[in-house]
Amino acid sequence: MKPMKRKYIILTTVSLVMVIGIAATTIQNSRYFDIIKNLEIFSNLYKEVNANYVDEIDPNKIMKVGIDAMLATLDPFTNYFSESQIEGWRFKNEEGEASSGLRIKKIGEDLVITKIIEDSPAFESGLRVGDLIKSVNGASTIERSPEDVMDIISGIPGSEMNLDIMRPGENELINKTIIRGGMDGKNVPYSGIVAGGIGYISLTTFTREAGRNVANALRDLKTESSDLNGVILDLRGNGGGLLREAINVCNVFIPAEETVVTTRSKVVEADNSYKTRNEPVDQNIKLVVLIDENSASASEIVSGVMQDLDRGVVAGQLSYGKGLVQNTFDIGYNAKVKLTTSKYYIPSGRCIQSVEYKNGERVHIPDDQRAKFQTRAGRTVLDGGGVKPDVALEAEKDPLIVKKLSKQNILFNFVTRYCIGLDSIGPLEDFHFTDFDAFTKYLKESGFTYETETDEALTNLQSVAEKEAYSGEVAKQVDQLKVQVEKEKASQINTYRKEILLAIEREIISRYYYETGLVKHQLKNDPELAAAIKILNNDKEYKTILSVN
């Protein structure tokens, strides 16, 4: 190459680099200017509101509202913790929160225990669902929210806690001492043979030892059934948990050194890749993973990885769509921000994170707006809104009347009354609740009523008709419609008698046999389980689903 030509190329390259650098600097400077400008606008606005608004304002309160509103435009998992909230945060994140294995809810004026997790400290102490918490460590729970009380109940593992509770049917306070534990009960409440040669494993949360427990369950199934032909991993309703346990669960079915998930962020140095480390329990056995709209985070990693590697068939409904990683940063004055810093990506390269939210809930993204990726075998999969199952199954949904009875705690309160003085319900397999008359009697006593969208629409119609001065005949017809709707609503109790009895039955079983018994009970009439068994029993269909069309 001639010297002049080489010199020209070098000068051109240097000039191009300089132009790119100047452009990047200009963009960066423009961005900094926008930040400084908007901070100044915000500061001036804050100063004027504080100085001139007609009423006195609380600077801390109004600032928190503003910050929360700003973060709400990002995603539901990015949160601000003010100085007043920081103690609860420290227990959960720095000291190592200990789970006591109970859940509580405000019902009327009372804080009521609504769930006891088997083998947890609450379980060992003899607490029961339906117990009313009156004080914690001597501090009254009157006028405290469930969140406040749970912050008190959670604490350092091994520390002691005292609860004063009032048990339905008894007149005196009962004191319970609980040693806070580091576990939250069973994460694999049930596993067993559900059909000839077909095993089943229920995984309800990705807490510690989830991978080990799934592995042990599969080994037990292989020992129990020498002709084990397939296994169902049930992740329905599993909201996720620890990332390392998601990797460990994947490792039960796939070999070591497989990349399970990568995290990518704005800061490239913070990107990570996570691989399996151990030999699998069984990398060849046929597998169906069941998911639903409440399967999130770690559940989506496991189901998505099995799909991406063509390791098993995913069946059920579109999962929740949470593929975000959060980290916490100090922002001064003893406040912190939990910020989404990266996203999870699974082997095909897709991200399962939903990219649209409304009122904190994900918005379904149509398939034609989701990017396409390929599984290892070449099947098309989609990103940006959860894991779409290979086999779509229609979920059984409770009728509206059952949802309303549950939301208003009618079913829960009825079961609490039913269980007073009842030490046992007999063998799980034989229990059925059939006393519908007792329930309808309680329902009348409770004064239960409920509103529907139809009620709201008719009220709005009546209001608009009056505003627009329609004749009295229109108002009369609207009134007649309202009467008819009330009759239809009243008839729903008898129309859905079977579904109501089943909901009551499940609530009772959960109190005496806990989650283990509830899972076993629900499997008896589970159409999605039946569909999974059918897939595993049909080798041709199973292979067809996992092959490229």
List, in order of start, the domains of the chain with CATH numbers. 43-73 (no CATH), 90-179 (2.30.42.10), 190-333+340-395 (3.90.226.10), 400-450+496-527 (no CATH)
**Mutual angle of helices 453-467 and 472-495, in 10-degree steps:** 170
Helices (H), 451-526: 453-467, 472-495, 497-512, 514-522
**Per-residue tens of pLDDT for the chain, all 549 residues:** 555 555 555 545 545 545 455 555 565 567 778 888 888 888 888 888 888 887 888 887 888 888 888 887 777 777 776 655 544 444 344 333 456 888 899 998 899 999 998 888 899 999 999 999 999 989 899 888 887 788 777 767 778 889 999 999 999 999 999 888 755 568 999 999 999 999 999 999 998 899 999 999 999 999 999 899 999 999 999 998 889 999 999 999 999 999 999 988 887 877 889 999 999 999 999 999 999 999 999 999 999 999 999 999 999 999 998 888 777 778 787 788 878 788 889 999 999 887 666 665 667 778 888 889 999 999 999 988 899 999 999 988 899 999 999 999 999 999 999 999 999 999 999 999 999 999 999 999 999 999 999 999 999 998 888 888 888 888 889 889 999 999 999 899 999 999 999 999 999 999 999 999 999 999 988 999 999 999 999 999 999 999 987
Contact call for residues 533 and 198 (beta carbons, < 8 A):
yes
Letter string b/e over residues 290-318, b meaning 16 or more CB atoms within 10 A of that residue's CB: bbbbebbbbbbbbbbbbbbbbbbbbbbbb
Contact call for residues 288 and 232 (beta carbons, < 8 A):
yes
Which two tokens mark 524?
Answer: 């008896």
User: Tell me, what's the pLDDT at 60?
Assistant: 78
> pTM for the full model?
0.81
Q: Count the neighbouring beta carbons within 10 Å of the beta carbon of residue 483.
A: 10
What is d(CA 123, CA 283) in angstroms, rounded to the nearest whole number?
A: 36
User: Tell me, what's the pLDDT at 144?
Assistant: 85
Residues 6+ apart with CB under 8 A from 179: 121, 158, 159, 160, 161
Provide the Cα torsion 258, 264, 270, 272; round to 10°: 0
Q: Residue 393: what residue type?
A: L
- The sign one gets for the Cα dihedral 239, 242, 243, 248 is negative
User: Tell me, what's the pLDDT at 95?
Assistant: 37
The DSSP element (H or E) to which 125 belongs, if any, is helix 121-125
List, in sequence order, every residue forming a beta bridge with 361; answer none if it has no partner. Answer: 358
Q: Count the neighbouring beta carbons within 10 Å of the beta carbon of residue 488.
A: 12
What is d(CA 342, CA 327) in angstroms, rounded to the nearest whole number?
A: 9
